[in-house]
Each structure stands twice: as structure tokens, then as C-alpha cells.
Structure 1
Amino acid sequence: MQLYTPIEIEQIHQDIPHLIEIMEWVKSFLGRHHPDLGRPGPVCPFVPHALKSNSIQMAVIRAKNLDSQQLEEIVRHYRDIFLDITPKEKELAINKAFLLIFPDVQIHETSQLIDGIQQKLKPSFVESGLMLGEFHKQNESSGLHNPNFRPLRSPIPLLAIRFMVESDLPFLLSPDNPYLRIRYLEAYLKNFAHKLTDKAKLNDAYQALALAKEQLKEENLVKY
């Protein structure tokens, strides 16, 4: 049985509209097919299963009067919680997700706060076997199958935490920085090299890692 204080009730009252809006967006956008997607199925293939298994959890983060460093600590805290309550059933773990909603972050702040936090924390998340995604109205990231589709636009700024999956390889190849690509690809291979059934994808990962190392070596030679 859950007991609530007056302050907690007031906070819940303020948070409910944001939770409902994002839940509707998850169901109606991420969990369904979009004509501009460029492939069959829902925008996020895992959402229908996550909804069915009740594996999505959300939190409203009040960012007002908090700086980026404080917000980073909050996101790291949720990462630790996410890892601590891993489902014992492996088939459910793939559908597990945290959505951290930031209703106080204004549109002009999303680049610094949402994108900035995601870029800073993504390496440590990936090395923990997780993905950290940034969603907001101005997100210009394109879809894998249609460069004109914007799958990461949400009605309220948010960061999504989920487990890394085999199909995440393309998302780990994007950094121009070869050092970052090496970190991402080594983490990917650590998680999947022993169980990847798609040998072509495994070869792609190893080749990309070799190219990133070669690029880093060449850049260091030029620098020094």
C-alpha cells in the first residue's frame, strides 16, 4: 500500500499530464507504422512488446534551477537503477526502457541540455551495454531507411534508456571521432561477438573497428 503526503500528491498532479502525453506518443507514434518510415512495422520495433509486457517506465525530471552537471548526475542515477533491476527473464530485458521526461526544458535549450547530456553520457552508457537516446521537437536525426524521416522527435524533451541490441550497430558508427567509434564498437563486440547469428553484421563490426583504429593512428601521426 502506497501512502502519499500533500506535497507528493501535488507533484503527482503536476506530472500526470506530461506522463499521459508521452504515453500517448509512445503508443500512437513509436508503437505504430509511419508511412515515411521506409520499412514495414512500427517506428520502434520493440515498443509493442514493451507495452504488452509493461516494461516501459517513465519519470518526470524537473530541470528548473538545475544546471547540466546536476542533470547529468540524475541521468546517471537512473542508469544505475536501470541496471540494478534487470529482469531475470532475458526475453523481457530487451523490451525494458526508461523514459526521462524534461517538461521544463525549453525548445532553445534542447541542444545544450538534451543533446549535450546525451552526447556526454552516451560513451559510458554504451560501455554498460545500454543505449541513451535523445528526443525533442527539433531533433534532426534521420531514419535509417528514409533520410527525410525524423523518428526522434517527441512532444516533450526526453532521454530514453534501454539495453543495446544487435541492430544498434549503425547507431554506433556515426561519430566522426575515431576514438569514440572505437569505444562504441568494442562495447558492441563485447556484448554480441559471442552470440551474433548474423555473421555479416559481425564482420561489419570488426571491419569498422579496424578502420576506426587506422584512422586514429593516422590522425595521431599527423598531429605529432
Structure 2
Amino acid sequence: MDSDLKNYSVSLNLMQLYTTREIEQLQRHEDLPYLIEIMEWVKNFLGRPHPKLGRTGAVCPFVPLSLKSNSIRLAVIHTKHLYPEQLEEIVKSYRDIFLEMDVKGQELAINKAFLLIFPDIHIEDAPKQVDSIQQKLKPLFVESGLMIGEFHKRNESPGLHNPNFRPLRSPIPLLAIRFMVEADLPFLQSPADLHLRIRYLEAYLKRFGQNFTDETKFTNAHQALSLAKEQLKKENLVSYCI
């Protein structure tokens, strides 16, 4: 793809990010229905307890504080005339914006989140289009100290505390960007691909260094990394012998 076309598509689709308070004040905007629908989903689903969650507290424990500090920003991205490579560049550009954006007022960096909404992606196409972008870009985000999550109505990812709960289902397909936290360890040690698992665990340990607040997670991450490296070494040895 021509680089000028790629740069043009990125600049054209880097739409404005709105906080939830700004959305509440918007009166006329072509994307207002999408912004409102996701804002309400954040408040009434992610930000509240759920009987099937399997633990106490909100579905996403950071959302209540993020809403209180006005730290969640939403953008609507229209994908109808974009190549997959163009959409990937746009999402990567939001990663850069996320890292460069300073927190303001009562915001806390750990509560900052971007929600990139894709209203043009059909529900049936979301598993292929949204999931593929998330899987391709996740290593880049993780190594930047970030997490990127895929949300849509067909998401079958189970909850950590209840395998029958589906916490990543949203009314409109979207990708969420936030800072990595210590509690993300289960998501980073789960890939079956040992190379990817090692890459994630190394990024996790680099992110927190010696500043872990939970020593158990520090120990578990080191153990998981050592085990993954040992498994990879054995697989390489077997392959060499064969």
C-alpha cells in the first residue's frame, strides 16, 4: 500500500477522543448514538457488579474510579473504506497518543483508558476483524506496558472467576487500551505459543521491575517465565534430535 495513502487514512480517521462528561454535553454529532451506547454499557455493565462474575466488585474493577476521575476516552472509527492494514496503523497511532497524553486534574494514569468503537463492523464479522487486529498488535502494546482488549457480541472469552461468564461482550465492536497492571498476569501467561508467552512475561516483569506490590505475582511471573523457557528448550531439543 502506498505510504501516502496510509498516512492519509491514519490522519483522516484519528477522530476526536471524548470523555464521558464531554459526551453527556454533546448535542449534535453524527456519532453521538454510538458514543452514548458504549458510555452507558461502561457505566451499567463494566462499572457494576454482576451476579455471574464470580467475585465481588465491578466487572472491571478500575471502571468506577476511571468514571469518577473522567479518565475514559471514547472515539468512533469508521472502517467501511479501510484496508485491514490501514486500520492497524490507526490503532497503533492511538497507542502513541495514549502514551503521550498527560493526565489532567484528578485523573490517575492507571485509570486512563481509550475505547475505540467500530460501528461499521458487522456483529458476525467482529470475531475475525476485531480479534485479528488485537492478536496482531497485542505484542506491540504489551511491550509498551499496555493492554489491548477486544470486545464484541460474539466474544467467547470466559471470565477468570466463572468460565460461564462472558465479560468481553459489548453492544458495538471495540478495542480497549489501558495500562498494564499486576493483575494482568493470567492473561499474559496463557498463550499456548511459548515464544509469545515468554515475550509477554518478560514485558510484564520489565514493566513492574522491583516495584511489585504483590510479591506472589512477582514470584509467579518468574516461575511461569522459567517454565516457559524450559519447555521451549525441551521442544527445540526434541526437534533437533528428530
The TM-score normalised by the length of structure 2 is 0.85
Cα offset, 1:112, TM superposition = 1.9
* Correspondences of 1:1-224 after superposition (within 5 Å): 13-87=29-103, 92-224=108-240
**1: CA distance between counterparts of 2:120 and 2:104?**
35
Cα offset, 1:55, TM superposition = 0.3
Residues 64-123 of structure 1, C-alpha deviation per residue, up to 9 Å, x if partnerless? 021211110000000000000142789700100000000000122112210000000000
Greater mean alpha carbon deviation, residues 56-65 or residues 211-220:
211-220
Gaps of 5+ in 2: 1-15, 17-27
Gaps of 5+ in 1: 1-7
Q: Which runs of 4+ in 1 moved over 4 A?
A: 88-91
**1: CA distance between counterparts of 2:213 and 2:40?**
35
Cα offset, 1:143, TM superposition = 0.5
SS of the equivalent of 2:30 reads helix
Cα offset, 1:214, TM superposition = 1.2
Count of aligned pairs: 214
Greater mean alpha carbon deviation, residues 181-190 or residues 82-91:
82-91
**1: CA distance between counterparts of 2:209 and 2:89?**
31
Computed over aligned residues only, the root mean square deviation of the Cα atoms, in angstroms, reads 1.7
Which one-letter code corresponds to 2:143 in the other structure? E
Greater mean alpha carbon deviation, residues 32-41 or residues 184-193:
184-193
Which one-letter code corresponds to 1:114 in the other structure? V
Which one-letter code corresponds to 2:139 in the other structure? P
**2: CA distance between counterparts of 1:88 and 1:14?**
27
Residues 169-192 of structure 1, C-alpha deviation per residue, up to 9 Å, x if partnerless? 111011100110111100110111
| Equivalent pair of 2:70/2:107 in contact (CA under 8 Å) | no
The TM-score normalised by the length of structure 1 is 0.92
**1: CA distance between counterparts of 2:107 and 2:238?**
47
Cα offset, 1:20, TM superposition = 0.2
Which one-letter code corresponds to 2:161 in the other structure? H
Cα offset, 1:220, TM superposition = 1.9
SS of the equivalent of 1:58 reads strand
SS of the equivalent of 2:213 reads coil
**1: CA distance between counterparts of 2:83 and 2:48?**
35
Residues 137-159 of structure 1, C-alpha deviation per residue, up to 9 Å, x if partnerless? 00000111000000000000000
Which one-letter code corresponds to 1:39 in the other structure? R
**2: CA distance between counterparts of 1:58 and 1:87?**
15
Which one-letter code corresponds to 1:116 in the other structure? S
